[in-house]
Amino acid sequence: MPEGDSIWRAAARLHSALAGHELTRCDLRVPRFATSDLTGRTTLEVVPRGKHLLARFEGGLTLHTHLGMDGSWRVFPAHGAWHGGPDHEIRAVLGTARHTAVGYRLPVVELLRTTDEGRAVGHLGPDLLGPDWDAERAAANLLATPGRPLGEALLDQRNLAGIGNIFKSELCYLAQVTPWTPVGDLPDPATTAVRLAAAAHRLLRANTGDSGTRNTTGVRRRGQELFVYGRAHRPCLRCGTPVREAPQDDRPTYWCPRCQSGPTP
């Protein structure tokens, strides 16, 4: 599933293509909103909220979308060919005189009043890449369930919005604990939770560039961009011990058995 940095980049692309321009085409290919038409309205802005996208239009309307596991928004020249999947996978089309934005495989396409956005995203915790970011509040949210495994707590968007499976594994590595470690068992839980929240903010912010290649190690050499994620059976970059993999909440999770202490499956 795309993580907060990917959603931030998607919002930036859509904002650049649509904001300030009048829609000349609108096609929402979901039954509930199939007859809705935004043609003639100007796009005010496209902003990310955690893993959600909010496209706001004049007249107080917002198109709320979520990419799910494999959805995407692609931007093409107004009269260019589309590519991103077969036509039956297209869920939304927004066009201007210059660009056409096409949403493929979007599990959530919802048109709502801008004043009602809270109904769609109000449950989310502080956005790691948003203006509401608050490390202290995010840490307090994590600490609210001390018996919960850290990996699960980091993925809960109600605690802090934007972390996905890659950053979950990487953050647990940086904290030197396994993803199955209860939050309350962290060394000096209050201090560690704040440091984790700050590290998450720093990592996601550092990965909002155009390259699309995630990097948490600071090393640009191919195959060494991440500490543990996707490195099962390969040597830990720090100690050389083979990285291990196991599912957590049905998601592949990675850790170094030497560098990270705590319970394991």
Q: Annotated catalytic sites, by residue? A: 2-3, 51, 251
The beta strands (E) that lie in the chain are given as 25-28, 43-49, 52-57, 61-66, 72-77, 90-95, 99-104, 108-113, 244-248, 251-255
Q: Which residue, chain included where needed, has tokens 């940095």?
A: 5
CB 26 within 8 A of CB 39: yes
User: How many angstroms separate the CA atoms of 56 and 115, rounded?
Assistant: 11
Q: Check: CB of residue 4 under 8 Å from CB of residue 138.
A: no
Buried b (16+ CB within 10 A) or exposed e, 137-170: ebbbbbbeeeebbbbbbbbebebbbbbbbbbbbb
Structure tokens, 86:
């077969």
- Contacts with 186 (C-beta within 8 Å, 6 or more apart), sequence order: 150, 175, 177, 192, 193
Q: Are 231 and 157 in contact (CB under 8 A)?
A: no
108: helix, coil or strand?
strand
